[in-house]
Amino acid sequence: MSSGSILRLVGAQHGFVEFFPFGKAQGRKGWLGYGTAGDTTLTLKANSALRLDSGSARIDLDNASPAVYIKSSSGGDATAYAKTFTPTSRRELKKNIELFKRVNRV
């Protein structure tokens, strides 16, 4: 082991840590690791919403929506920086839309 190593998890073909917060009878709610033999992608999988929290900001990934929410720790909006941006259209925001009525110019 290296001098800074605290915990080493070793698998034969792949390795992961499973989370059962309500006991094994309630089923696995998430896992972290390499899910299949030969997998080189580290995965954090949650069966529900997923939150990454730094104390001053958080990122919420909601399993009921394809959206990613970036919030401050108090729940308000936080600034997000992106290299690329792809605009999309969200159906749930398009409610009570009425046709524009043309008004005569004065």
The domain segmentation of the chain, as residue ranges, is: 1-47, 48-81
- DSSP characters over 41-84: S-EEEESS-EEEE-SSEEEEE-TTSS-EEEEETTSSB-----S-
Considering the chain, what is the average pLDDT of its residues?
Answer: 81
The single-letter code of the amino acid at 82 is: A
Q: What pLDDT does 25 receive?
A: 95
Least confident of 21-30, 49-58, 93-102: 93-102
Q: What pLDDT does 24 receive?
A: 94
